[in-house]
Amino acid sequence: MFSRYRKDSTAPVSTAPESRAVPAHEMARVTPSAQIAAPLPPANPPRPSFKAQPATPIAATAAANDKDRRRRQRILEVKSELHTRLLDNLNLAALDNASEAELRAEISAIAAEALSDINFALTSEERLALNQDLYFEVRGLGPLEPLLKDDTVNDILVNGPNRVFIERDGRLELTDVTFKDERHLLRIIDKIVSAVGRRVDESNPYVDARLADGSRFNAMVPPVAVDGSLVSIRKFKKEKLGINDLVNFGAFSEEMAMYLEAAVATRLNVIVSGGTGSGKTTTLNALSSFIDNSERILTIEDTAELQLQQVHVGRMESRPANVEGKGAVTQRDCLRNALRMRPDRIIVGETRGEEVIDMLQAMNTGHDGSMTTIHANSARDGISRLENMVAMAGIEMPLKAVRSQIASAVNLIVQASRLQDGSRRMVSITEVTGMEGDIITMQEVFRFERTGLEPNGKIIGHFTGSGIRSHYSERFRRWGYDLPSSIYDAVK
């Protein structure tokens, strides 16, 4: 068959499986091995049932299961053989310009040829699934592709080739997705990082990148990753959760939404604090919707995730050094530059280092209404984190001076949390009210009150005001946000 996508269309396609162009040292990897399709324990092993079971011929069932398992394993082996053969036979450079239909047709033809060569028959369903997998290997990210396409998946977490977890509805699940071996996993990682001009190998064992669809990607490879490469992907959500979605999901209450609207619109400086994956970026993005369309907003992130809806938005993304150790642009560089770009507000995706100094200064010097997130477990802890970051940045300043800088820069700390049942909630909104002696004073205005646990593990609780009126009530009123004082009432 002639095809411009074959490397050499006149060369015969290797006919016997053992004659394909795989170096001998790799043969062991593609031939059956326990590693290839090692069945994983189910993510949630079924509980033993005490119901009477219908009598089944146990031996017959076991034999059928075994046959099934052996067939699945064989299909995996065939897939890996076909994949190697595809890579050997396809002209990858020409493939870049091939349409999806052309590529699929080509894959299906090569697969059909190879299957007939090795005399292995597949049902039409199996054949379709195989062609799909092979397509994903060539054009996409292999076994990860279906997970990337599944909108219910938030995170994809790979712990070596045989363990791929996903996070869905706030909970981790083990999937039955596997890579052929570590080499296969490394090839997919390499595909991702080389597309963004980066490299990952023994001397450069970890990398941050952004996938073509905007998803955040981090990988760490052996030997630093001890049991095989570690990959973490935070999926990019095309439809960002807005304030109304968050209220509907029970992430916070209507009253809190009213309060936050007033706080953002009246240009309070807001910090969203929370643990990893607690919904900080989502909250920051939702809060930004309260910013007026006429304002010039500059965003600074390590990986651009925010999606602001305003017209006047300038986005910046920091950049690590290249392989020669050159060209790094830190968040601090971006922030310093941003101050010369006439911003009305500055939003830093996450403050985690020396940029804290410039962030606090910006908040204190006319760029009020700025926002950022920090990694901390409570408002008080958030303040300590800021203090530590200032200290780590090498600024010689007495603690009291640092604290007073923080106290006058930060108006509000919104604490996001992922609870044990997987739900993400804003567990507290705390105002910074000033200093008393050496201590920064704060008052909580809203919180999530946990009252119990449903038998299915779901947390029961409600949002409540603390009974204390906002320190900024007068400011809100002056700016036209006359919030009823009842929103701060404690709910029993």
Considering only 99-107, 142-150, 274-282, 389-397, which stretch makes contact with ligand ATP by CB under 6 A? 274-282
The entry of Mg ion, ligand ATP, none near residue 140 (CB within 5 to 8 angstroms by kind) is none
- Cβ nearer to ligand ATP, comparing 17 with 382: 382
Give the nearest distance from C-beta 425 to ligand ATP in angstroms: 7
Q: Is 299 in the site for ligand ATP (CB under 6 A)?
A: no
The entry of Mg ion, ligand ATP, none near residue 142 (CB within 5 to 8 angstroms by kind) is none
Considering only 13-21, 24-32, 132-140, 275-283, which stretch makes contact with ligand ATP by CB under 6 A? 275-283
The entry of Mg ion, ligand ATP, none near residue 237 (CB within 5 to 8 angstroms by kind) is ligand ATP
- Cβ nearer to Mg ion, comparing 269 with 281: 281
Binding mask 224-263 for Mg ion (x = CB under 5 A): ----------------------------------------
- Cβ nearer to Mg ion, comparing 349 with 465: 349
- Cβ nearer to Mg ion, comparing 281 with 417: 281
Q: Which of 181, 186, 211 is nearest to 200 (CA)?
A: 186
By rule CB under 6 A, what count of residues binds ligand ATP? Answer: 16
The entry of Mg ion, ligand ATP, none near residue 198 (CB within 5 to 8 angstroms by kind) is none
Interface with Mg ion in residues 281-320 (CB under 5 A):
281
Q: Is 369 in the site for ligand ATP (CB under 6 A)?
A: no
- Residue among 6, 79, 210, 234 that touches ligand ATP (CB under 6 A): 234
Q: Is 278 in the site for ligand ATP (CB under 6 A)?
A: yes
Note the maximum CA span of the chain: 85
- Residue among 84, 282, 288, 470 that touches ligand ATP (CB under 6 A): 282
Q: Is 274 in the site for ligand ATP (CB under 6 A)?
A: yes
The entry of Mg ion, ligand ATP, none near residue 206 (CB within 5 to 8 angstroms by kind) is none
Q: Is 279 in the site for ligand ATP (CB under 6 A)?
A: yes
- Residue among 44, 56, 99, 276 that touches ligand ATP (CB under 6 A): 276
Q: Which residues bind ligand ATP (CB under 6 A)?
A: 154, 234, 237, 241, 246, 249, 251, 274, 276-282, 424
